[in-house]
Amino acid sequence: MSTTQSKREEKKYICCICKMPFTGYGNNPDPVKKRGRCCDSCNAEKVIPARIEEAIKSWCKG
């Protein structure tokens, strides 16, 4: 595998959860944060578990 320098247009974001800069598409941080974008690790470690919790809560409401 040869890695030629590909200059893709990557957007830079500051993660709204951990405040670390990252490039790429980012993730929707809802329900942890209502605005901004978050990095992949926060998405995996915080947003997805929070989303699951929210989903469980909303199922229990009914």
Which residues form the interface with Zn ion (CB under 5 A)?
15, 17-18, 38-39, 42
- Residue 25, both tokens: 């598409």
The minimum distance between CB 15 and Zn ion, in angstroms, equals 3
d(CA 9, CA 50): 31
**In this structure, which amino acid lies at residue 49?**
P
The minimum distance between CB 11 and Zn ion, in angstroms, equals 15
The minimum distance between CB 31 and Zn ion, in angstroms, equals 15
Q: Give 18 or 52: the residue with its C-beta nearer to Zn ion.
A: 18
d(CA 9, CA 15): 18
